[in-house]
Structure 1
Amino acid sequence: MPSNPFLQDLPEPVATAAGVRLLLWRDDLVNPALPGNKARKLKYNLREARRLGRGRLLTFGGAYSNHLAAVATAGRLHGLATVGLVRGEATGAPNPTLARCAADGMALHYLDRAAYRRRAEPAFLAEMLRQFGPAYPLPEGGTNALALPGVAELAAEIRQCVAFDALAVAVGTGGTLAGLLGGLAGPETALGVAALKNGGFLRRDVDALTLAATGRAHTNYGLATNYHFGGYAKYSADLLAFIHGFEARHGVLLDPIYTGKLLFGVLDLIGQGHFRPGSTVVAIHTGGLQAWAGWHERFGGGEGMGE
């Protein structure tokens, strides 16, 4: 068994039969105050905000966004004001995610979906900065060039604990996967499991991110797009059963939006022979467990179907 508290063997029968050693990196435990990949994406962005003398962060996200929750927490921890521009209309009391954001001091403002679609337009961003005051802007999901080096450090941390052949991570905006690519060495590879439907475009986005950050695109990665269970934040009874079974077997709770789909996909691909016998594959638990509170609020325990 690995001696590192963040590294856990996953003795799944399908992996054993395929001759693949499967491990789980618990990035959700590394920084309890700000868990998971969001802290890594924010690391160098927070430094840049300080360098520029910006005392306020402004960002975008959906009503159950891990990113909004992370930015609000980071603001509280680092003494920065935060503004969250939320997709959709305000409907009564805030859900648990947004209530936590507000408790951490984030000022929440809602954008209708037409306005939200303009979030990446420079003119629209300038308008938001004029409206809400000087701020350091962060894109939805926290994915930009400065997010990548913080994630690249994760690959080195894992390598110090175990020699691996592949890292596997859930993909939403592509920032975590792009960052990992910058930290790979030699023959190491990465696999991204898309959490949203029709995710083939993510390869283009990942390549654009690595080109902007390091001047090169990478070929040592794959993107699995068949494990979205209907789309972003969609699910099925099979996915929920898998998450419950995984927790029973390994004592680890996954989330239904990212990490549940990741481990489901990785195990299915192992069974298909995607990884050669003798490989060591490390799946990365990127956190996101705060989403369960809102999930139960919406779905009454998550036993329903669809969204």
Structure 2
Amino acid sequence: MTIGEWYAQRAGQRLGSCGGGSQNIGQCQQLVQLYALEVLGVPGCPAFPVPYARLMMGTRTDYFTTVPNTPSGVPPYGSIVVFNGRVGGGYGHTGVAIEGSDTNVVRIIQQNDPMGSGASIKIYNYNNVMGWLVPKSQAVQPQGDNDVIINDNNNFARANKTHLQIRGRALDRGTFNAFVGKGWLTFIEALSDDQEANDHEAAATLGAVARRDNWQQQIYTLQDQNKVLQGQVDSLAKQVKELQAQIGTQTDDTKLLNGFGEILTKLIIRLGLKGEQK
């Protein structure tokens, strides 16, 4: 039986459980006693053998892990929330955590608040919350409620993978905690409705085209072609330098020959003139 199915059957009723006695019907503790038995399958009559709600903390360690309240803590869906003696006339209060809880408020199924009322859903702040009792094994977890995010490592891993797929980066614990107790659909919608998600989708689309058209191999081919062309350019540059050197040498030789020619011309002229004088 899921929590939703159980609550649908019990809503509005003043609940009691085995071992509670008729005088305790409608007390807050009787609701969680019955929940532990009918939904989680926790044995015992009653499941929590204590007289007051506030005394439930630290009990039934065979089936529950006791988690103290902290500023960043959020009770997992289906855990049992325990309030201290500042409420309930010194007896405390208790209820079953459901979706909608976060670091500011806790949303629970409870009874006897207001006094004499039957099973209902109510939201509280954490001022008087001592902590919560988390079912230890999957065998006693509420079944069929996988649409709700629970504060455990498995759900964080799933949320992180979803975050990577939609946003393209890892999920931090602070963001995850803000969605604990809420539905997976709410989480996915929040991740999708963001420019970062749009940018990641565009990049992923481009990446798909790159893989399909084998851009990586095309880049390698172009790099190889560039190496060949660069070799040809280097070879041509070398030839140009050699030609420039040859031109420089030819220029010096030409100047030398021209100098000899001028000297010979002058000698011939002088010799010719001397011949005419004789």
Q: TM-score range by the shorter chain?
A: under 0.3
Question: Which of the two has higher C-alpha Rg?
Answer: 2
Q: Which structure features the higher share of helix residues? A: 2
TM-score between both structures, scaled by the size of structure 1: 0.21
